[in-house]
Amino acid sequence: MASPVRIQTDGSVLQLPRSATSFVESSLAFLKQEDNVVQTSEMIDHKPRLDGSDRGHPGLYLSCFDMLFTEDATWLVRVSDSSTAVGTGPRLEPCQEPEQCPVIDSPGLGSSPLSPTLEEQVEERSLEQVQSLVVGEVLKDIETACKLLNITPDPMEWNCGNVQKWLLWTEHLYRLPQVGKAFQDLDGKDLCSMSEEDFRQRSPQCSETLHAHLDIWKSAAWMKERGSVGETRIRETEELWSEADSSCSGQPIHLWQFLRELLLKPHSYGRCIRWLNKEKGIFKIEDSAHVARLWGLRKNRPAMNYDKLSRSIRQYYKKGIIRKPDVSQRLVYQFVHPV
């Protein structure tokens, strides 16, 4: 494992975690090569501003995270090592089996999807530990890049110069051809509002990588905005990964089951979906976009949105699984057979 990196400035020393070492080495090489304007003293002093105005929550698509490490195949081994040797990951706890709707007879319900064996649970939990660490590493890497580039972690706050720095950085990270000129008139808000197709028009070669990489930054900014730092961040990271983790299980799940899972974890998901009357099975979707994104993650459907999700919910009306409550309200639904 590589040693921690220490960056010494005017009397100040910035010591970075071991996990960030390769990233930082890469960063230093970048700064040297590109003759970037970042001053180390600024790097130390810079505090990312997290007080940006409210915005949409970008989805966290796991496939994007792979891209961060395309140049370092040993990375996964490093994370695995740290998860076992250091033992700082989440504690291994028995996995609580999600509740099933006792009335609705759904194909395939009785077997694996909601009743994993103990061995499967342990295996999934171990995977969750590694995944949780991965997200933590990604967040650290972004923080480090912010310090090195002297930009805020929130792309929405970038000016044109910040965008150019980020582009240079991304070019370096993925060894892309120079694309800065194609984006020279854009600030962070412009960049964030661009679709992948917009990226493609400006840079056919690099659009996929740039768009995915920006998605990671947007996700990280969103995660930071939801919590602050330290333990909160770790908890949020774990939460997001547990959301995403489900998409890795490969097990089919019905939408109503998924919604019930969220409702049964108010600590994690209470901000986006909650019971209004648990006894009657009435629930409210507080953050439609976020619930839709979670569903998209679970089903590996990045294009999922609330429009589509709600259409699926409405399919349950005929089947007698979910209905609108007697007093219909927006974003409020009712399980026909509450637990």
Partner DNA sequence: TAGTAGGATAATA
Partner DNA sequence: TATTATCCTACTA
Query: Is 139 in contact with 240 (CB distance < 8 Å)?
Result: no
DSSP three-state, residue 13: strand
* Count of Cβ atoms closer than 10 Å to residue 107 Cβ: 8
Tokens at 127, concatenated:
């995977």
Stretch that binds DNA, among 86-94, 178-186, 201-209, 301-309 (CB under 7 A): 301-309
Minimal distance, residue 216 CB to DNA, in Å:
21
Residue selected from 252, 266, 270, 320 as contacting DNA according to rule CB under 7 A? 252
Minimal distance, residue 291 CB to DNA, in Å:
10
Tokens at 314, concatenated:
């409405």
- Regarding 307 and contact with DNA (CB under 7 A), the answer is yes
Closest CA to 146 of 231, 235, 23, 9: 23
- Regarding 308 and contact with DNA (CB under 7 A), the answer is yes
- Regarding 324 and contact with DNA (CB under 7 A), the answer is yes
The 3 state secondary structure assigned to 36-56 is CCCCHHHHHHCCCCCCCCCCC
Q: Which of the residues 257 through 296 are near DNA (CB under 7 A)?
A: 288, 295
**How far is 209 from 126, CA to CA, in rounded Å?**
29
Number of shown-chain residues binding DNA (CB under 7 A): 30
Stretch that binds DNA, among 70-78, 140-148, 193-201, 323-331 (CB under 7 A): 323-331
Tokens at 115, concatenated:
């009743």
Q: Which helix (H) or strand (E) holds 15?
A: strand 13-15
Closer residue to DNA (CB): 264 or 331 = 331
Closer residue to DNA (CB): 160 or 331 = 331
Residue selected from 74, 178, 195, 328 as contacting DNA according to rule CB under 7 A? 328
Q: Which residues bind DNA (CB under 7 A)?
A: 106-107, 252, 254-256, 288, 295, 299, 301, 303-304, 306-312, 314-317, 319, 324, 328-332
